[in-house]
Each structure stands twice: as structure tokens, then as C-alpha cells.
Amino acid sequence: MSKNKARMVPGETFNGSFGITEKNTGLSQRETLEGVIINSSTCLKVKEIHKVSGSTGAVFYAPQELSLKSHHRMKYQSASNTILELSKKILARNPSK
């Protein structure tokens, strides 16, 4: 991975205040997370994302890279872990110079 990865730093405020955007505020957290999964999968040319609900109602995702044999495809994960794994794959394919 690139040594030039972005990093988190403290943000600027004005007397403790800061502005926020109202973009996408009408979306539920599930819709937001699934949007990121779909967009990231699309960047990786993944055509299908399998989605299942566990017995407790938790939702799990498995983007399927159909070029891989089934035992090498992504296993089911939470939305946040799916997003993290997809983002790592995007970085690996498009390292910054």
C-alpha cells in the first residue's frame, strides 16, 4: 500500500462551532452504507453483492467478484467491514504515486 495514505487530523472550528452539510440527510444509515458498498463495488467492477439478514436482524454483505472461484470470493461481513475491505481493494488497484 501507498506510504502517501490520507490521514485524519483535528479539524478547524470557530469558537467550537463548525458548519455541516445537509446532503443526503434524508437517507437512513442503512441506505448510506449500502450506497457506499454499491459505489465501491462498481469501482471494482463487481456486478453482484449478496445480502443476508442474520437471526438477530443484523445485515451482512458479500460483494462477489465473479472472476474468482467461489471459495475465493468475499465472505459475508458487516457493512462497515465490507466497506473497509472494498476500500483496501480500491487502493491496491489504484495506488497513489
- The tally of domains found in the chain comes to 1
H-assigned helices in the chain: 29-43, 79-93
pLDDT tens-place string over residues 1-27 = 456 788 999 999 999 999 988 888 889
* Separation between Cα atoms, residue 91 and residue 75, nearest integer Å: 20
Q: What are phi and psi of 25, to 5 degrees?
A: -70, -15
Tell me whether residue 34 is in a domain: yes
Q: Closest Cα to residue 46, out of 56, 36, 38?
A: 38
Residue 10 lies in a domain: no
With respect to residue 11, please indicate whether it lies within any of the assigned structural domains: no
Distance CA 65, CA 69 (A): 9
3 in a structural domain: no
Domain that holds residue 88: 29-93
pLDDT at 75: 86
- Tell me the per-residue pLDDT of 20-73, one tens digit each, with 9 for 90 and over: 888 888 899 999 999 999 999 999 999 999 999 999 999 999 998 766 565 556
